[in-house]
Structure 1
Amino acid sequence: MITISREVESWGDEIGNYLASILSFKIVDSKSFHEHLKRYYPNLPPEPPLGEKERNIWLRKARFCFERLAQEKPLIILGRGGQKIFENYPNSFHVLVVASLQTRLQRIIQKYSQEETIALRILLQQDKKRERFLLEKFGVEWKNPALYHLTINTSFYSIEKATELILEAIKNFQQETRLQLEPPSHEPSIFAHPSEEEFAKLLDFYGIKWLYEPKTFPLEWDEEGNVTEAFTPDFYLPEFNTFIELTTQRQKLVWKKNKKVRKFRELYPDLKIKIIYARNLDHIRKKLELDDE
C-alpha cells in the first residue's frame, strides 16, 4: 500500500500514475476513492465526520474497505487522507511530494495559459483548501514530515527521477522492516509445543539463525476494522527472509492451519512462508540420525 500526498502542481499525480505503471498497482484517486467506499458501505459519508469518535469509526471502516480492495491488487492512494487512514499500518509506505511556490506557479502558467496574478491566486486558494480539509476532517497538519516515510521536492527532480527515488526508498524500507523483526534481547524462547523446541535445535545444528514468533499478522476484520482473526507464524529465518509454520496435528485438523496460511499468502504476497508437516520433521530427524552414524 502506497499513499501519495501532494501539493498542487507538484507532479504528485503524475508520479503516482508512473509508479503504478511500473509496479502494476491500482491507482485510487478522489473519484474512485468514493466509489470504493460506497461499494462496501453505501451509507458511509465520503469524508470523515467532525466528531472524534465518529471520525475514528469512519477511519476504521475506510481502512477495512481499502484493505479488502488491496487483496485484489496493490494500491496507490492519491490524497484523501491516505497517510492518516493507513497511519502505522504494516506494509504501507507514505510519500509527500512538494515543490517551491515559484516552481508550481510556473507549471500552472504553462499548463493552463494563465496570467501570473490569476495563477498565483488559484494556487494559494487550492493550497489553503487542501490544508483546511486535512486539518478539519482528519485532524492532521498534512505537511508534518513525521507522517511520511519520504518527502520529495520536485523543484529538483523529474517525474522519472522522483519515481526512481521512491522505488529505492521502498526497497530500503522493506529491508529495514525485516531487520526490525530482530528481538531486542537474547532471552531464551519459551516454546508452546515440544516440536517447536526440537525444530529450533535442528536449526541450531545447521547454524541457521531463527526468531521465534516475532510478529503477528491480522487476517480478518469486522465491519468497523477491528481484528477478528490473526496469525503468528512459529519461526522467521532472517537469512532466507522466510516464515516457517510447523504442524504436527492430526491430518483432519491440518486443513485449519492450511486455511490460515492461504489467507496469509493472499494478504501478504510479498512475504514468504513455508509449512513444515510432521512427516517433514521426521525426515529431517532421520537424516540427522544417519549423519551421526
Structure 2
Amino acid sequence: MANNTIITIGRQYGSGGHDIGKQLAEELNIPFYDKALLERAAKDSGLCQEIFENHDEKPTNSFLYSLVMDTYSLGYTTSSFSEMPLNHKIFLAQFDAIKNIAKEGPCVIVGRCADYALAEFPNVVNVFLHADLQDRIVRIARRHDLTDAKAKDLIIKTDKRRASYYNYYTSKKWGEAAGYDLSLNTATLGIEGTIHMIREFVAYKEKEHERI
C-alpha cells in the first residue's frame, strides 16, 4: 500500500498530527517530513536552517503575499531570487522543497501548506486532523508540563497562527473539511484508529486508480 501516494497532514495543535504522521510513515515504510522539511528547504536553497525555523508557519502581511504569489505563478530566476525579501525567499524555497520531495516518491508531509503546494500532483491524499479542545489541552499540558490554562492559551495562539499562514498562502480555508480528502477527529478515533482510517483511504484510492 502507498506505493506511490503522498500524504499531507494539516492539523490543529494538540491533535497528535506529528505523532500520527510519523507512525503512519513508519508503518508504510516511507519518508516522514515535519521539521525535517525545514532542513531540506535550507539545504536546497542555501539559506540558514534557523531562518526557516524562525518563520515556520507564521503569517506574513497581505502585500508580501501578493508579491510572493505573483512571482511563484510566473516563475523566477536565480538572480531574482537573490533580490527577494527574506520572507519571500523562505516561502518559495519551502514550496520548492515540498515539490522536490514529492517527485522523489511517496512520503508523509505535515503542515507547511503541502496540500496546496502539491495541488497539481494526482497521487496526493490530503488529511486534516482535529480534536475536541479539552482533549488537546490535556495532551499539550502533559507534553509540555503546563497548566491547563497555559496549554489552552498556547493552543489558541498556535492554531490562529497556522490558520493565518495557511489562509494567506492558499486559496482555501484552514481546517475547512471541503478542502481535504479526509477530516478526522483524533479524540474520537485515537492515534491507532486515525492511522487505520488514513491507511484504508489510501488503499482504496490506489485500488481505484489501478482500475482506471
Q: Which TM-score applies when normalising by structure 1? A: 0.54
Among residues 154, 179, 200, which one is paired with 1:122 in the alignment? 154
Q: Which residue of 2 aligns with 1:4?
A: 9
Alpha-carbon offset, residue 148 of structure 1: 1.1
Taking the TM superposition and a 5 Å limit, the aligned residue runs for 1:82-121 are: 82-121=114-153
Q: Which residue of 2 aligns with 1:162?
A: 194
Q: Which residue of 2 aligns with 1:33?
A: 37
Find the aligned partners of 2:114 and 2:135 in 1 and give their Cα distance: 25
Distance 1:71 1:89, change over 3 A: closer
Among residues 32, 42, 46, which one is paired with 2:46 in the alignment? 42
Find the aligned partners of 1:126 and 1:66 in 2 and give their Cα distance: 22
Task: Please state whether the residue corresponding to 2:195 is helix, strand or coil.
Answer: helix
Alpha-carbon offset, residue 90 of structure 1: 0.9
Alpha-carbon offset, residue 100 of structure 1: 0.8
Among residues 149, 154, 172, which one is paired with 1:140 in the alignment? 172
Alpha-carbon offset, residue 162 of structure 1: 0.9
Find the aligned partners of 1:64 and 1:136 in 2 and give their Cα distance: 18
CA contact 1:62–1:85 (8 Å) conserved in 2: no
Find the aligned partners of 2:101 and 2:45 in 1 and give their Cα distance: 13
Find the aligned partners of 1:23 and 1:70 in 2 and give their Cα distance: 16
Find the aligned partners of 1:106 and 1:61 in 2 and give their Cα distance: 35
**Number of aligned residues:** 179
Q: Cα RMSD (Å) of the superposition?
A: 2.7
Select the structure that is richer in strand.
1
Task: Please state whether the residue corresponding to 1:5 is helix, strand or coil.
Answer: strand
Runs of 4+ in 1 over 6 A off after TM superposition: 58-61
Task: Please state whether the residue corresponding to 2:187 is helix, strand or coil.
Answer: coil
Q: Which has the larger radius of gyration?
A: 1
Q: Which residue of 1 aligns with 2:26?
A: 21
Q: Deviations over 1:123-175 (max 9, x none)?
A: 11111111111122335311122221111101111211111110001111123
User: Unpaired segments of 5 or more residues in structure 2?
Assistant: 1-5, 76-88
RCO comparison, higher one (Cα < 8 Å, 6+): 2
Q: 1:24 is aligned with what amino acid? A: N
Q: 2:156 is aligned with what amino acid? A: L
Find the aligned partners of 1:88 and 1:96 in 2 and give their Cα distance: 19
Q: Deviations over 1:15-49 (max 9, x none)?
A: 1010111111111113x223322333336x95795
Among residues 41, 44, 53, which one is paired with 2:70 in the alignment? 53
Alpha-carbon offset, residue 106 of structure 1: 1.7
Alpha-carbon offset, residue 71 of structure 1: 5.0
Find the aligned partners of 1:23 and 1:140 in 2 and give their Cα distance: 29
Select the structure that is richer in helix.
2
Find the aligned partners of 1:141 and 1:76 in 2 and give their Cα distance: 21
Taking the TM superposition and a 5 Å limit, the aligned residue runs for 1:214-253 are: none
User: Unpaired segments of 5 or more residues in structure 1?
Assistant: 182-293
